[in-house]
Chain A
Amino acid sequence: MAQAAAVAKQPAPPRRRRGSATPRRLPYLLIAPAGLLMLGFIAYPVISVFYYSLRHHNPTKPWRNGFAGLDNFVRAFTEDPRFWGTLTFSAKWVLVEVGLQLLFGLALALIVNQTFVGRALGRALVFSPWAVSGVLTSAIWVLLYNSQTGITRYLADLGVGEYGTSWLSDTATVFPAAVVADLWRGVPFFAILILADLQSVSKDLYEAAEVDGASRLRQFFHITLPHLKDAIILSTLLRAVWEFNNVDLLYTLTGGGPAGETTTLPLYIAHTSVDAHDFGYASALTTVAFVILLFCSVVYLRLSKFGGGDK
């Protein structure tokens, strides 16, 4: 809240100006296109999801359609083991992905923030998977993991593992295999954002710390990390929401399999609505997903005291 107050106190640009014909209507005209698009294609669909979550709606079973009260929610929480299974998997997926991406991203950003020969090339190469799409990432890792000519074949040539191993169709290996594939693409996201923020640390601080004889490790924990705090909180939150919602990679890499082992809640929702046409139930699950995301985000921002640092 201190944050919001700080925003409000910023000097507001003067309202009336020479040269602006309709100063009061102009801002509304300017935000109108964006506002209308978002009303029509975000707000309205969201409201319709809430509406349908209270109804039975299934085009293949029209005789059941109608008001359902909280039936769909009761079904999710009490009768549907897949709901809990996919929710747990989502949580595991998000925590592991965001945690590892942050760790490696931070390390990489610190490294490529140094001055060294070949830095520009190093940065470009390190960041390069960032722009690669989820589908293309899947394609690449399908090539790497395939049982006939994938990496396992060459590992087996070296005596590691067995021929014909397919990491993506074995329930024991599919999770780490998918995690590594998504890490490959996700680490550069953190590396780029953290690097951008590192560049705004005042050099004087390090020089002063050095004069005081602080070791590099102490400098990291007392100067660098506090400076990065807000950027880290914000980027982990955005990334967590993104990892939770994004279905491209798992949809194409594992299809949620084997045996539903890697189905996240959004993937389950997509199957429920698109394949099973159970739109009422899918809407209820979507509503639950919204509420969980919102709740977790608020708790996270509160606990991490976002924006409350050195002002």
Chain B
Amino acid sequence: MITKIPEATAPAPAPAHRAPEPPRPAGRRRAWDEAPRWQIYLPLSVYLVFTLVPFYWILLFALRPPGSTSLVPWPMTFEHFEKVWTERAFGTYFQNSVLVGVATLVTTTLVALAGGYALARFDFRLKRGFMLALLCSQFVPGALLLVPLFQIFAELRMINSLGSVVIAETVFQLPLSMILISGFIRNVPYSLEEAAWVDGCNRFSAFRVVVLPLLRPGLVAVGSFAFVHSWNHFLFALMFLSDQDRQTIPVGLNTLMSSDSVDLGALAAGGIIAAVPVVIVFAFIQKWLITGFSAGAVKG
């Protein structure tokens, strides 16, 4: 399915904007709302137990003292966090992960924005081929290209530099990000841009003044994907970064897990450090994410 919003409709404001629902007749609710309450709450609570017990488990292990088998994290202690942050170098890993994540976010968004604009607004000869290449690249797993990628970065003398991870993450984020962004841009009526040209804007300033503000939900979705993805991803960092002080959080977690006697408290604390930024990002953007998706992302 292709997003069906025609390009030259009257300027509807934001891409993610929904028409206000007409007031429902009093006393009558939508049919789909009429599920008995227990059919909602019962399965939902069962599923929530499955979702939340693992989270509770990791909090429990991170906060209770070593050797404790209590099911309540009391007395509470932060010694695991101190240990993992300093002794196991999670402070350094955290810094590296932030650097990689932010750099990936910026490069992915900028490159995808440029490419997405071209795909949405121009008809050019290589367009079909380029779109096809984007789709095909979805089938190319980074995991299977580790060795040739390693050789390339060795050639570029970028092994052990965070730049190699940023490039690799960006490249594998790009296709999907570009498809998403071009979908968002298509949802912004072309006539808005044309009107800005009449008012004396050139193409770039028209884009900046008119289109960019309307793309905000989409850019937030794409940017946060890029950040979270590179924050979470671990194979590239594992392969391309060998010095311990260059490594990222997932590699640190893997090291904790693969040591002979796993320090469960440290592992739990490290896991929570790994989760915090992602949780914060998602708490901020969750609403925009859903609207961003329904604004044509899934169907673009």
Contacts and interface: CB of A to CB of B under 8 A. Distances in A.
A131 B281 CA distance: 10
B214 interface: no
A259 interface: no
Contacts of A279: 147
Given A19-B201, A139-B58, A34 B111 contact: yes
A214 B74 CA distance: 54
A210 interface: yes
A153 B60 CA distance: 15
A116 B37 contact: yes
A293 to B, nearest CB: 5
Interface stretch (A60-68, A79-87, A196-204): A196-204
A126 B138 contact: no
A76 interface: no
Contacts, number: 291
B143 A246 contact: yes
Interface string B59-89: 0010000000101000000000000000000
Contacts of A6: 2
A133 B252 CA distance: 13
A144 B149 contact: no
Interface stretch (A8-16, A93-101, A170-178): A8-16
Interface string A29-48: 01101110110111111101
A26 B171 contact: no
Contacts of A153: 69
A307 interface: yes
B175 interface: yes
Interface in A150-199: 151, 153-154, 184, 192-193, 195-197, 199
B244 interface: no
A299 interface: no
B168 A125 contact: no
Nearest to B293: A196
A288 to B, nearest CB: 11
B27 interface: no
Contact of A129 (B51, B69, B143): B51
A98 B122 CA distance: 37
Residue from A108, A128, A207 whose CB has the most chain B CB atoms within 10 Å: A128
Residue from A6, A38, A114, A246 whose CB has the most chain B CB atoms within 10 Å: A38
Nearest to A191: B47
A41 B122 contact: no
B30 A140 contact: no
Given A42-B140, A184-B50, A266-B141, A13 B278 contact: no
A28 B8 CA distance: 24
Contacts of B57: 140, 143-144, 151
Contacts of B47: 104, 108, 126
Given A7-B2, A19-B203, A34-B111, A184 B54 contact: yes
Interface in A242-301: 244-248, 252, 255, 266, 269-270, 273-274, 279, 282-283, 286, 289-290, 293-294, 297
A266 B31 contact: no
B278 A115 contact: no
Residue from B167, B174, B206 whose CB has the most chain A CB atoms within 10 Å: B174
A136 interface: yes
Interface string B254-293: 1011100010100110110011001101110010011001
B134 to A, nearest CB: 8
B137 interface: yes
Given A21-B202, A31-B118, 13 more contacts: A30-B122, A33-B111, A34-B178, A37-B170, A45-B145, A108-B47, A124-B283, A126-B44, A127-B282, A134-B234, A206-B32, A248-B234, A283-B147
Interface of A: 3, 6-7, 10-13, 15, 17-21, 24, 26-28, 30-31, 33-35, 37-38, 40-46, 48-49, 104, 107-108, 111-116, 122-129, 131-136, 138-144, 146, 149, 151, 153-154, 184, 192-193, 195-197, 199-200, 203, 206-207, 209-210, 216, 219, 230-231, 234-235, 238, 241, 244-248, 252, 255, 266, 269-270, 273-274, 279, 282-283, 286, 289-290, 293-294, 297, 307
Top-4 shortest CB links A-B = A133-B232, A245-B141, A45-B148, A30-B118
9 contacts: A11-B8, A19-B197, A34-B111, A125-B48, A144-B53, A192-B290, A196-B297, A197-B298, A248-B235
Interface of B: 1-2, 6-8, 21, 30-35, 37, 40-41, 43-44, 47-48, 50-55, 57-58, 61, 69, 71, 111-112, 114-115, 117-119, 121-124, 126-127, 130, 133, 137-141, 143-149, 151-152, 167-168, 170-172, 174-175, 178, 190, 194, 197, 201-203, 206, 228, 231-235, 239, 250, 253-254, 256-258, 262, 264, 267-268, 270-271, 274-275, 278-279, 281-283, 286, 289-290, 293-294, 297-299
